[in-house]
Amino acid sequence: MRGKVALITGSAKGLGKRTALTLADLGCHIALNYVHSREEALELQAVIQHKGVKCITVQADVSQHEDIIRMIEEVEKALGSVDILINNAGPFIRERRNFAEYSTQEILSLIEGNLIGPMLLDHLVLQGMRQNKWGRIIHFGFGHAAESRAWPHRAAYAAAKTGLVSFTKTLAVEEASYGITVNMICPGDIRGINKERSISDVQEEQDGETPRGRPGSGEDIARVISFLCLPESDFITGNIMDISGGLDPIRPWIKTS
C-alpha cells in the first residue's frame, strides 16, 4: 500500500477522518476533502504528514460538478493519479419528513451529492486506474440498502443510495479485468464523536438499539475499508457490506429482555 494515493471525500471529520488516518498508517499518500471544515482539515493534514506520507487538503462540494473536476485536477497535480477513491461525503437530512415536504433544492442536493457526485468522481479516476491496472473504489450506503426497501421520511436519500447500489455492482463487473474493485460499505447509526473513536473506546459502552449491544465506532468502518483496499483483496468486488452490529435502520430491532 505504500505510495498509493487515496482520496477520501468528507474527510476533515468523522468516518472520513478515521479512514484517512488508517490508510495513512498503511503508507498511503492522502488527499483530504472538506467543504467548510478548513481548520479541522489543516490540523488533520499536519497529523498525517507527521506519519511520513504526503497529504494535501482540497476544498470541494461533491454535489457541485465544477468542484469535482477541480478537486481531481488538484489531487493529480500534487500527488499523481488516484489509486483509492473513498466516496464518503454526501448530504443527509436527519429531520424526518415526508417526501412531499421536501423542497426541490433539497431533493436535488440529496441526489446530486449521494449519487451523481460519486458517479462523476469514479468516472474521472477510472482512466488512471485502468492505466495502472489497479484501483480501489468504495461507496458509502446505509444498512440494508441492497434490499431497496421503502424507507419512509428518507425517500430522496434512500433513492440515491439504492441507485448507487446498482451502480456499484455494475461498475465492479465492468472494471474487474483492469484490476479495479468496487464495493459499498453500509455503516450503522454511528453518531458524533464515535465516528472518530476506536473499538476499544466503545467496547464497554451499552447501546440498546444495536443487537451487538455496543455502539459502532469509526474504527469499525475504517478497518473494513482498509481491508478492501489491500492488494490481496482483489477477489472481493461488487459487494454491499453492512457494518452495523446487526442494526436495521428501517425496521429497528427491539430488545425484549
> In whole angstroms, what separates CA 146 from the centre of its chain?
16
CATH number at residue 179: 3.40.50.720
Separation of CA 12 from chain center: 13
- The Cα 218–Cα 99 span in angstroms is 30
Whether 197 is in a domain gets the answer yes
Measured distance CA(63)–CA(120) in Å, rounded: 10
Cell matching residue 140: 458509502
Question: How many domains are there within the chain?
Answer: 1
Q: Is residue 257 part of a domain?
A: no
Predicted local confidence at residue 244, as pLDDT: 86
Is 212:253 a contact under the CB 8 Å cutoff? no
Question: Locate cell 455503516: which residue?
Answer: 187
Task: Kindly state whether residue 251 falls inside one of the protein's structural domains.
Answer: no
* Cα–Cα dist 221/49, whole Å: 22
What are the pLDDT digits (tens) for 9-29? 999 999 999 999 999 999 999
Question: DSSP string spanning 133-161?
Answer: T-EEEEEE--TTGGGT---TT-HHHHHHH
For residues 51 and 155, give the distance between their C-alpha atoms in angstroms, rounded to a whole number.
Answer: 42
Domain range enclosing 102: 5-243
Q: Is residue 248 part of a domain?
A: no
Burial track 19-32 (b if 16+ CB lie within 10 A, e otherwise): bbbbbbebebbbbb
**What average pLDDT does this structure show over 128-143?**
96
226-255 confidence digits (pLDDT tens) = 999 999 999 999 999 999 888 787 766 555
